A and B are shown apart, each in its own frame.
Chain A
Amino acid sequence: MKKTKKVFHLVKRSDMSRGKALVFRLIAVLLSLIVCAIVIVSITHQNPVSVYSGILAGAVGTKRRIWVTIREVAVLLLIAVGLTPAFRMKFWNLGAEGQILIGGAASAAVMIYFAPSLPPVLTMIILLAASMIAGMLWGFLPAFFKAKFNTNETLFTLMMNYVAMQIVTFCVVLWEHPAGSNSVGVINQSTRAGWFPRIGGLEYLMNVIIVVLITILTFVYMKYTKHGYELSVVGESHNTARYAGIDVKKVIIRTMMISSAICGLSGAVIVSGASHTISTSTAGGRGFTAVVVAWLAQFNPFAMIATSALLVFMQQGSIQIASQYGLNENASDIITGIILFFLVGCEFFIRYRIEGTEVEIEEKAGGAKA
């Protein structure tokens, strides 16, 4: 007796053209928005159009909201850019969270101890340098141990996050203001000492300038310098790097220090440029979100602008609809989750396609028994 049966196999695609891959990703975004709408509508029982206009209003509804969205995109982008050199070297830096916190704590310290007495320009230089050095130290340790003893950088950087968090907890107690509030409060609220200055009357312009500058510098560093070349060879194969006469240990430590310095700098951008306070939630998971941003953009800084903008846009928008429809803050996480699910999932379909083949199976008595 003969039967036919359809069997499915995954077939690897040969490299897809960039244009086609972009179309795939746009379709994924579109699908994710539809699924988001279905989820929100089923919870709120509202017209999906009004839900999306709520999201739009939340993200870019007013001038203030537009600037907050830009500020958040800038920070996320800066962290993702910071992760890029390490990730290109296949050094899995999951410690951005801790590097941000420690950089933020360093800039808060400068704001508290130096800003009131020093001239603003000098303060700003010390503040930026302090945050970078603090972040750099947080990156140096795992890189040193990786280079010397080949320890696992994923675990090491993750654990460094907890150390940073404990240090910040200690700082909150130390700098508590007003007493008994268990928080630092807004630092130098009346004098604005150590705050990023307004440029042209725009509050967050300096954040944007810093991020644009670092993004361009990192892009040039990665693509056109000898250091950038060395770190991509190390990322491909340590053996090839040794063959080419590259000092692998030196490159690992150097690259990771650059990467973590940028993450530390984003701590300063958050503390001195936006919240003007410090707490254990200063990083707020952005150190991990940035990993996704960088991966989705395949480490292309310009594509990172798009991915971080999409994520922040939806997050800011869902904060708005959450308050509008009485949902809690988890609504924003659900939406981010749905978008990421589709974006990551579509990468699979960019690499593989599913093919069905019709096969005849012959039923034999005891035939194909293993």
Chain B
Amino acid sequence: MAETAIELKNVTKRFGDVVANDHINLTLKHGEILALLGENGSGKTTLMNMLAGIYFPDEGEIFVDGHEVTIRSPKESHALGLGMIHQHFKLIDVLTAAQNIVLGMDGPVKMDMKALTKDIRRVCERDGFELDLDKKIYEMSVSEKQTTEIVKALYRGADILILDEPTAVLTPQETEKLFSALRKMKDNGKSIIIITHKLNEVMEISDQVTVLRKGKNAGTINTIDADERTLAEMMVGDHVDLNIERSAVQAPEDKVEVRGITVRNNEGLKTLDNVSFTAHTGEILGIAGTSGSGQRELLEAIAGLQEVESGEIFYKAPDGSIEDLTKKTPAQIQDLKISLSFVPEDRLGMGLVGNMDLTGNMMLRSYKEGKGIFTDRKKPRELAEKIVDKLEVVTPSVETPVRNLSGGNVQKVLVGREIASSPQVLMVAYPVRGLDINSSYSIYNLLGEEKKKGVAVICVGEDLDVLIQLCDRILVLSEGTVTGIVDARKTTKDELGILMAKGRKDHSHRKKQEPEEAV
């Protein structure tokens, strides 16, 4: 057996003129955990997708166990003992864990599900995974789904596991559980690559770190020799300032009051259940929760984009009058001269129009202004130029369609437009997702400035460390219910993690369905 599990030599992948991976070398030794660290868009997932058989490299060689290989499809990747757990799970909701695990494998027409389930259970026991194999995917929590994906890869004979941002959807406690499972697999001789952009995770789990920066290998070091600051600087290639300035709250007043709102989705399931809170002026209210806990619905309900089944939303105008926003459409809210700014999670699907240029996107908020049937493009154009200038948006011109901009620049355009209307209430969802470290911190500072101006800021975030540093109070959502509102200056990550998991319906107590004999 060769010493290296995987070796990449000069691997290059281009998309049009964009070089996603530029002559990258990478080595994974047997029985080690390698962290692949890099900012969003630095080419981590692209590189790993070439190992998974999803992309094909334009140049370079791939060696598995010392042999040069050509991986042209996911099937060939499996055959080489590679298993990738993608960020978005590839599971079929209505099938059980066991059915998902054997799905697509070769075998006789009629499968002996009992025997297969026994085989799978043996794999689980060997590597120390707890998984109810007869449970359907739609009954599972995110963490259980992830376990299913990992067991699927192991059952198919993977010796080398690649996990793409596995902790993004987990609470701190679940992350801890995953990490101990990974350590155990390592002890059993598996080799693991974990893609991440979180520095603390790298320090905690990995033996080696390879850092990617703008599609290039920015260096590989032993984790023992690294600290968070050096890793951050390797990622950015420049000095970084990791401090968030948090000013004291000045004269808070009630601005938005949410009283017991309940929202249902298309399937009639409650996405928000009796949610109440008050957002104050001059304060940043953070909203934490694992993804899909109702954050999106909450912000959309306030913005008038979600139908509210019961409960009320009140807005206190600067002159002291109180408006009921509950049954209002976005247009009616605009007409009330309530300047409510909203940076939604889905930037190109809700906040911006991808095929329109920067000027056209500025018009989204202002096109109705002015009399007559014609639009005014002059003022939006000036605003676009101002934002490009002030937030250092990298774009050929304000006439470039926003879909051609990078994720970070798209976000700057959106945040810039929403702040430009000098709002009373500013709601942002995942404001730094996809941004590089330096831009992230400039966005945090922008939010801080709005707070100083007396704006009521509501910020949905995923990085608990950042929420604790940035916000004044943090509201925790779990499956659509508020499990706590805590003082950000006093809370800890652990406390938030417990609140995030609290109130979760325990899916395993549901009545089990009869396992099916054949697939």
Q: Closest CB of chain A to B383's CB: distance in Å?
A: 15
Contact A225 B373 (CB under 8 A): yes
Q: Which B residue's beta carbon lies closest to that of A352?
A: B16
The reply on A64 being an interface residue by CB < 8 A is no
Which of B127-135, B361-369, B443-451 contacts its partner?
Answer: B361-369
Contact B15 A9 (CB under 8 A): no
Q: Closest CB of chain B to A220's CB: distance in Å?
A: 9
- In the complex, A12→B349 CA distance in Å? 22
Contact A239 B72 (CB under 8 A): no
The reply on A43 being an interface residue by CB < 8 A is no
CB under 8 Å from chain A, chain B span 12-39: 14-18
CB under 8 Å from chain A, chain B span 394-432: 404
Task: State the interface size on chain A (CB cutoff 8 A).
Answer: 35
- In the complex, A225→B15 CA distance in Å? 37
CB under 8 Å from chain B, chain A span 221-249: 224-230, 232-233, 236-237, 239-240, 242-247
Contact B331 A247 (CB under 8 A): yes
- In the complex, A7→B58 CA distance in Å? 11
The reply on A365 being an interface residue by CB < 8 A is no
- In the complex, A236→B329 CA distance in Å? 20
- In the complex, A224→B76 CA distance in Å? 54
Q: Across the interface, which residues of B come within 8 angstroms of A247, CB to CB?
A: 329, 331
Given the interface pairs A239-B346, A240-B349, the reply to whether A225 lies near B16 with Cβ below 8 Å is no
Q: Closest CB of chain B to A213's CB: distance in Å?
A: 17
Q: Closest CB of chain A to B406's CB: distance in Å?
A: 13
Which of A116-124, A305-313, A356-364 contacts its partner?
Answer: A356-364
- In the complex, A39→B70 CA distance in Å? 44
Q: Across the interface, which residues of B come within 8 angstroms of A359, CB to CB?
A: 70
- In the complex, A355→B13 CA distance in Å? 13
CB under 8 Å from chain A, chain B span 26-85: 56, 58, 67-70, 72, 75-76, 78-80
Q: Across the interface, which residues of A come within 8 angstroms of B16, CB to CB?
A: 11-14
Q: Across the interface, which residues of A come within 8 angstroms of B354, CB to CB?
A: 236
Q: Closest CB of chain A to B88's CB: distance in Å?
A: 20
Q: Across the interface, which residues of B come within 8 angstroms of A360, CB to CB?
A: 68, 70
Query: Interface residues of A: mostly helix, strand, loop or mixed?
Result: mixed
- In the complex, A230→B367 CA distance in Å? 9
- In the complex, A225→B371 CA distance in Å? 11
Q: Which A residue's beta carbon lies closest to that of B360?
A: A229
Contact A11 B346 (CB under 8 A): no
Contact A229 B349 (CB under 8 A): no
Chain A 330-346: CB-based contact to B (< 8 A → 1; otherwise 0): 00000000000000000
Q: Across the interface, which residues of B come within 8 angstroms of A242, CB to CB?
A: 305, 330
Which residue of the partner chain, among B15, B75, B348, B350, contacts A12 with CB atoms under 8 Å?
B15
Chain A 30-68: CB-based contact to B (< 8 A → 1; otherwise 0): 000000000000000000000000000000000000000
The reply on A368 being an interface residue by CB < 8 A is yes
- In the complex, A229→B377 CA distance in Å? 11
- In the complex, A359→B351 CA distance in Å? 44
Contact B18 A14 (CB under 8 A): yes
Which residue of the partner chain, among B330, B374, B375, B404, contacts A243 with CB atoms under 8 Å?
B330
Chain B 432-464: CB-based contact to A (< 8 A → 1; otherwise 0): 000000000000000000000000000000000
Which residue of the partner chain, among A11, A233, A361, contacts B353 with CB atoms under 8 Å?
A233
Q: Closest CB of chain B to A247's CB: distance in Å?
A: 7
Contact B79 A244 (CB under 8 A): no
- In the complex, A92→B349 CA distance in Å? 20
Q: Across the interface, which residues of A come within 8 angstroms of B315, CB to CB?
A: none
Task: State the interface size on chain B (CB cutoff 8 A).
Answer: 47
Q: Closest CB of chain B to A122's CB: distance in Å?
A: 28
Q: Which A residue's beta carbon lies closest to that of B364?
A: A244
- In the complex, A77→B375 CA distance in Å? 27
Q: Closest CB of chain B to A54's CB: distance in Å?
A: 44
Q: Across the interface, which residues of B come within 8 angstroms of A243, CB to CB?
A: 303, 305, 330, 342, 344, 350-351, 364
Q: Which B residue's beta carbon lies closest to that of A14?
A: B16
Chain A 68-112: CB-based contact to B (< 8 A → 1; otherwise 0): 000000000000000000000000000000000000000000000
Which residue of the partner chain, among B58, B352, B365, B375, contacts A226 with CB atoms under 8 Å?
B375
Q: Across the interface, which residues of B come within 8 angstroms of A244, CB to CB?
A: 330, 364-365, 367
Which residue of the partner chain, among A224, A226, A236, contacts B355 with CB atoms under 8 Å?
A236
Chain B 1-21: CB-based contact to A (< 8 A → 1; otherwise 0): 000000000000011111000
The reply on A1 being an interface residue by CB < 8 A is no
- In the complex, A246→B365 CA distance in Å? 10
Contact A229 B375 (CB under 8 A): yes
Q: Across the interface, which residues of A come within 8 angstroms of B356, CB to CB?
A: 232-233, 236
- In the complex, A244→B368 CA distance in Å? 10
Contact A370 B75 (CB under 8 A): yes
Chain B 369-395: CB-based contact to A (< 8 A → 1; otherwise 0): 000011100000000000000000000
Contact B331 A240 (CB under 8 A): no
Contact A15 B305 (CB under 8 A): no
- In the complex, A233→B353 CA distance in Å? 7
Contact A236 B353 (CB under 8 A): yes
Contact B14 A368 (CB under 8 A): no
Q: Across the interface, which residues of B come within 8 angstroms of A227, CB to CB?
A: 373
The reply on A18 being an interface residue by CB < 8 A is no
The reply on A369 being an interface residue by CB < 8 A is yes
Contact B353 A370 (CB under 8 A): no
Q: Which A residue's beta carbon lies closest to that of B346?
A: A239
Given the interface pairs A12-B16, A229-B363, A236-B356, the reply to whether A245 lies near B350 with Cβ below 8 Å is no
The reply on B230 being an interface residue by CB < 8 A is no
Q: Across the interface, which residues of B come within 8 angstroms of A7, CB to CB?
A: 56, 72
Contact B329 A245 (CB under 8 A): yes
Q: Across the interface, which residues of A come within 8 angstroms of B346, CB to CB?
A: 239
Which of A232, A233, A361: most chain B CB closer than 10 A? A233
The reply on B517 being an interface residue by CB < 8 A is no
Contact B368 A226 (CB under 8 A): yes
Given the interface pairs A240-B349, A243-B344, A362-B67, the reply to whether A370 lies near B78 with Cβ below 8 Å is yes
- In the complex, A7→B67 CA distance in Å? 20
Q: Which B residue's beta carbon lies closest to that of A243?
A: B350
Q: Across the interface, which residues of A come within 8 angstroms of B367, CB to CB?
A: 226, 229-230, 244
Q: Which B residue's beta carbon lies closest to that of A230?
A: B367
Chain A 2-30: CB-based contact to B (< 8 A → 1; otherwise 0): 00000101011111000000000000000
Contact B404 A15 (CB under 8 A): yes
10 contacts between A and B (CB under 8 A): A14-B18, A226-B367, A230-B367, A236-B355, A237-B350, A237-B353, A240-B351, A243-B342, A243-B351, A368-B76
Query: Which residues does B use to contact A, with CB under 8 Å?
Result: 14-18, 56, 58, 67-70, 72, 75-76, 78-80, 106, 303, 305, 329-331, 333-334, 342, 344, 346, 348-356, 360, 363-365, 367-368, 373-375, 404
What would 13 more interface pairs be, CB under 8 Å, given A15-B404, A243-B364, A357-B58? Answer: A11-B16, A226-B374, A233-B364, A236-B355, A240-B351, A243-B351, A244-B330, A245-B329, A245-B330, A246-B331, A362-B68, A370-B78, A370-B106
